[in-house]
Amino acid sequence: MKPREELMKPALWALLALGPAMLIVWPRWGLLAWWQRERKRRERELREDALKHLLKSEAEGAVASLLSLAGALRVSDGVAAEIVSELEREGLAAVESGRLRLRPAGREIALHVVRTHRLWESYLAERTGEPEVRWHRLAERAEHRLTPAETAALAAQLGHPLFDPHGDWIPASGDGLAAEAGAALEEFSPEQPFQIHHIEDEPETVYGHLLRLGLRPGMRAYIVSRNDAKIRLWADGAEYALSPGTARQLSVLSLPGVTAAALRGERFLSG
């Protein structure tokens, strides 16, 4: 009769052989289940980002198309077409004469995503020590994870702010999305005063560069000089040299009745 250890060897080898397979196919915790959850999560996030693109296009009076959607999501035209088909099947969007339009259910989801993003950036700014350059990226994750109830609780915790740290309006539940205020810096002439209203936070490298320079929403400024290679900007007592491409990250509001000399004196007196 074989020793007990000898009898157990086949079962041990069978367990060792099955171990990797079970790790892959285990119903809830296996790698296959994890991969399927991640794929579904990514597909849902792409649909929500697509709805957000349609909402922002609608607010700005721009035409949303398959090409604009592919560009906004950074996917191929084929993937964009699949996303649009899915949105149509779910009753979230429609294609009319080549234009992509939101349906009410899709608009509600898109507003929730935008509202959550801007509230989360406000939370990061007020309640954490996260570097400012990371706010947008972290908010892009949170916007897909918080439920409407959780977003409402976050808004209450923050005191229902009206604007996020970048100066963007935070829509309330049930609101529409207003067009972003502000004009392009290139529309302003030298010595014409303005207030920095918004600094675009994508791409992150350019946004980080502007933050390191010290530019922030709310600063009162004017263009000192400009040419094809450089824009010299005066803001809050200092001068900044920006490339035209970097300057396009800024949107600004006119300051009627204010002069460049008054801004310089304002800074002098406050110093």
198-235 per-position pLDDT tens digit: 888 888 888 889 989 999 888 999 999 999 999 999 99
Q: What SS3 state is found at 9?
A: helix
Residue of 211, 209, 183, 187 whose CA lies nearest to 197: 183
Sequence-ordered strand ranges (E) for 49-117: 93-96, 99-102
pLDDT at 183: 84
Helix, strand, coil distribution of the chain in percent, nearest 5: 55, 15, 30
Superfamily in which the 183-270 domain is placed by CATH: Ferrous iron transport protein A (FeoA) (2.30.30.90)
Cα–Cα–Cα angle for 55, 194, 114, rounded to 5 degrees: 20
pLDDT of 269 higher than 60: no
- Tokens at residue 49, please? 């980002």
Read off the amino acid at residue 261.
A
pLDDT at 270: 45
- Using one digit for the tens of pLDDT, what is the confidence trace for 93-134? 999 888 999 999 999 999 999 999 999 999 999 999 999 889
Average pLDDT over residues 224-248: 92
- Tokens at residue 72, please? 């906004």
- Phi first, then psi, for residue 43 (nearest 5°) are -65, -40
CA atoms within 13 A on the CB side of 172: 5
Calculate the average pLDDT of the chain. 85
Q: What is the DSSP letter of 185?
A: G
pLDDT of 71 higher than 80: yes
- Tokens at residue 218, please? 């709310």
Q: For residue 239, what are the β-bridge partners?
A: 234
Q: Among 37-46, 74-83, 107-116, whose mean pLDDT is lowest? A: 37-46
Cβ neighbors of 205 (< 8 A, separation 6 or more) are none
Residue of 218, 233, 222 whose CA lies nearest to 194: 222
Q: pLDDT > 70: what percent of the chain?
A: 82
Q: Among 3-12, 159-168, 216-225, 234-243, whose mean pLDDT is lowest? A: 3-12
Cα–Cα distances (Å) from 92 to 43, 46, 83, in that order, read 15, 13, 11
